[in-house]
Amino acid sequence: MYDQSLFIFQAIAKFESLVNQIQKNAKDIDQRLKMIEGANLFKSPPQKYPDMLPGCKEYFEHIERERSKDFEILARKYRAIGPLLTKMEGLVVHTNSGKSPKLRMYYGHWEKKVYDALIKVRYDVATWLSHF
């Protein structure tokens, strides 16, 4: 009886650990998507003087420079999602292909969330541009 209770306790502890790891990875992916979704791709340059706006060339060069840096950061966030999903696949079904049929719906869930985040960024850019 004692051995059986110990086995059940260990199985529950192992399952609980697996659930915690999956939740941690999901939270990490979600945070990356929120960062992508909330990206400000039009950061105005700081004002040098209180009532003086920057010139057009200075303004757009600053925006382009900042956007290039931001895109690189966002691309790194995006590229980190695949390995996190593969890590979860390894934990759950003990493969690491990134294409497990058993996780098709789970991958679809994250694919939709990535798509929604990118659509939000695109919408924010279109909204910003519509003000001109």
What is the model's pTM?
A: 0.83
**Amino acid present at 21:** Q
pLDDT digits (tens, 9 = 90+) for 46-67: 888 888 888 889 988 998 999 9
Asked if the model's pLDDT at residue 23 lies above 70, the reply is yes
Asked if the model's pLDDT at residue 25 lies above 90, the reply is yes
Domain boundaries, the chain: 23-130
Identify the residue with better confidence: 33 or 130. 33
Tokens of residue 47, six digits: 């004002």
pLDDT digits (tens, 9 = 90+) for 71-87: 999 999 999 999 999 99
H runs (alpha helix) in 38-103: 56-79, 81-93
Tokens of residue 120, six digits: 């939000």
Residues 6+ apart with CB under 8 A from 49: none
**pLDDT bracket for residue 102 (50, 70, 90):** very high
